[in-house]
Amino acid sequence: MWLSLSVGRFIAVIAVLAVAGGVLWVWQSARSSDPVSEEEALSKFREGAGGPRAARPGVPRQGVYTYRQSGSDRGGAGPISVRRGLPGEARYVVTPIAGGFQEELSLSEQHIEGVRFRVTRQGSRATWRRTDVTFVGIGRDDRRDLRPPPLHMPRRLSVGLTWSGRYTAGELPVSYRSEVLRREAVGVGGERLASFVVRTTGDTGGAHPGTRTDTFWWSPRLALPLRWSIDMDIRGTVSLDTISDLRLESVTPVT
């Protein structure tokens, strides 16, 4: 009888330790994020590029760009939330599409954002957005059409220029406002490049209310952000806070 009780207690202790170990593993996994390698980003780019295309005004050179990154994600549900650091590098993939291009920004393997742009002589307008965020393998790859397509970046910029508007992302109402704050030179690969500092703030309503502010150190010549700051705070059934500072390593993409 004593032996059977001891064995039973031993099994119970092992079960408790296994559960505790599993919880610890989940907790540690949730607090970290994985970088997207250049090889992985390049493979994805080559799958979707369909061969080189001639350069167009307002469209960045196609390929894979790398940004040095600092920042974090915080995700949660109800009163429970987990903060994780973002990798030291982020990948930005530009793929040409009919009438414009698609960008895919991988802050990490667990946080990927994509936007499709229609480019005209007046500037670029966003037509579609993707947000794929997971914590411990749980999340959602959210894809939404933007109607009417909001103005992302006018072709001609000047300090003090502002623009604003409203659109829906799927069923979510969004209002946004943008302003060109100043001119500023940015160091990239040992060069000092001219840029306009442009701040865009979007307020989302509906099931996922929140605010996102993107600040771009924008090169009109390259149609690229030389530096990019993201500050996002989303609420609802689940929450997501992201802060990221991105600095371009080279203006020459890998193809």
Q: DSSP string covering 26-86, please?
A: HHHHHT---PPPHHHHHHHHHHHH-S-----TT-PPSEEEEEEEEEEEEEEETTEEEEEEP
The pLDDT assigned to 250 comes to 98
Q: Identify residue 181 by its one-letter amino acid code.
A: L
For the whole model, what pTM was predicted?
0.86
Helix (H) or strand (E) holding 151: strand 151-154
Tens digits of residue pLDDT in 184-200 = 999 999 999 999 999 99
Closest CA to 249 of 188, 184, 180: 188
Query: What is the residue type of 234?
Result: I
Burial of 108 (0-12, 13-18, 19+ CB in 10 A): buried
Backbone angles phi, psi at 50, to 5 degrees: 70, 30
Predicted local confidence at residue 236, as pLDDT: 85
Q: So where are the chain's domains? A: 1-30, 31-248
Q: Are 201 and 212 in contact (CB under 8 A)?
A: yes
- What is the reported pLDDT for 78? 79
Confidence grade of residue 180 (pLDDT, cut at 50, 70, 90) = very high
- 54-82 pLDDT tens trace: 778 899 999 999 999 999 999 988 788 99
Are 234 and 246 spatial neighbours (Cβ–Cβ below 8 Å)? no
Residue 237 has pLDDT above 80, yes or no: yes
